[in-house]
């Protein structure tokens, strides 16, 4: 019987190290050496577990996408009232700034999604799950009568997701274009107008 392999666990450690390396140095500057150092091993060892740095980064993205979706679905579940759910989901989707690791990671790795279909597929999955989340909230609220949707819920949901993405892009820049409260105001304004329901607290 073969000696048991610890590769799975090791790969997990490397994904975590790579994640940190991207946050530290940015996707443009991250080196195999950075990952190796963070994981306290040689560069050769890193490549024993992943064929290339690119493959490792892909796994980083996959994990980040998954965690982001789960976190938000979790945040939404905390509330039962559609209005509260909507506000909470909006707040959970906007990055808190450059320190918001998960969001920064997704934007950093987004550079690959522009050229690599596999990366793009993850982004699509991410986006669609969020659209589904918002759509469900909107439709529940519409059924209850809290929300008065002037159009189909999917269009509104897509808008919310894209708006978060756009605002997040600005919030995570070296020098942000807006403050977080300004971004929140924009998003709440959108949601208020689209649902014809007073949301702003």
Gyration radius (Cα) of the chain, Å: 19
Nearest distance from C-beta of residue 57 to DNA, angstroms = 10
d(C-alpha 55, C-alpha 46), whole Å: 11
Encoded one letter per residue, x for contact with a copy of itself by CB under 8 A and - for no contact, window 102-121 reads: --x--xx-xxxxxxxx-xxx
Q: Dihedral sign for Cα 73, 137, 201, 155, please.
A: positive
Binding of DNA by 133 (CB under 7 A): no
Q: Which of 123, 129, 134, 135 binds a copy of itself (CB under 8 A)?
A: 123
Q: What Å distances lie between residue 143 and 30, 42, 138, 157, CA to CA?
A: 49, 58, 9, 16
Dihedrals φ, ψ of 27, to 5°?
Answer: -65, -25
Query: According to CB under 7 A, which residues from 33 to 72 bind DNA?
Result: 33, 41-45, 47-49, 51-54
- CA torsion sign, 15 to 60 to 128 to 120? negative
Q: Which stretch in 2-10, 39-47, 62-70, 151-159 sits in contact with a copy of itself by CB under 8 A?
A: 151-159
Q: Which one, 1 or 28, has the nearer CB to a copy of itself? A: 28
Phi, psi of 120 (to 5 degrees): -60, -40
Region 161-200 residues binding a copy of itself, contact defined as CB under 8 A: 161-167, 169-170, 172-178, 182-183, 185-187, 189-190, 193-194
Residue 181 partner contact from a copy of itself, DNA, none using kind-dependent CB cut-offs of 5 to 8 Å? none
Report how far Cα 116 is from the mean position of its chain's Cα atoms. 18
State which of positions 42-61 bind a copy of itself (CB under 8 A).
none
26 touches DNA by CB under 7 A: no
């Amino acid at each position: 019987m073969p000696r048991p392999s610890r590769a799975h666990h090791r790969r997990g450690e490397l994904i975590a190290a790579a994640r940190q390396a991207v946050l530290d140095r940015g996707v443009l500057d991250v080196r195999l050496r950075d990952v190796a150092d963070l994981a306290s091993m040689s560069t050769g060892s890193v490549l024993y577990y992943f064929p290339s740095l690119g493959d490792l980064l892909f796994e980083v993205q996959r994990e980040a996408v998954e965690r982001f979706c789960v976190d938000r679905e979790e945040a939404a579940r905390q509330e039962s009232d559609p209005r509260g759910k909507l506000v909470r989901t909006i707040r959970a989707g906007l990055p808190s700034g450059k320190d918001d690791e998960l969001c920064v990671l997704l934007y950093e790795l987004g550079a690959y999604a522009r050229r690599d279909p596999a990366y793009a597929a993850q982004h699509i999955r991410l986006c669609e799950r969020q659209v589904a989340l918002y759509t469900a909230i909107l439709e529940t609220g519409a059924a209850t009568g809290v929300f008065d949707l002037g159009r189909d819920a999917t269009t509104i949901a897509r808008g919310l997701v894209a708006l978060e993405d756009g605002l997040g892009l600005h919030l995570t820049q070296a020098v942000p274009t807006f403050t977080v409260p300004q971004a929140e105001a924009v998003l709440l304004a959108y949601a208020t107008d689209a649902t014809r329901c007073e949301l702003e607290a």
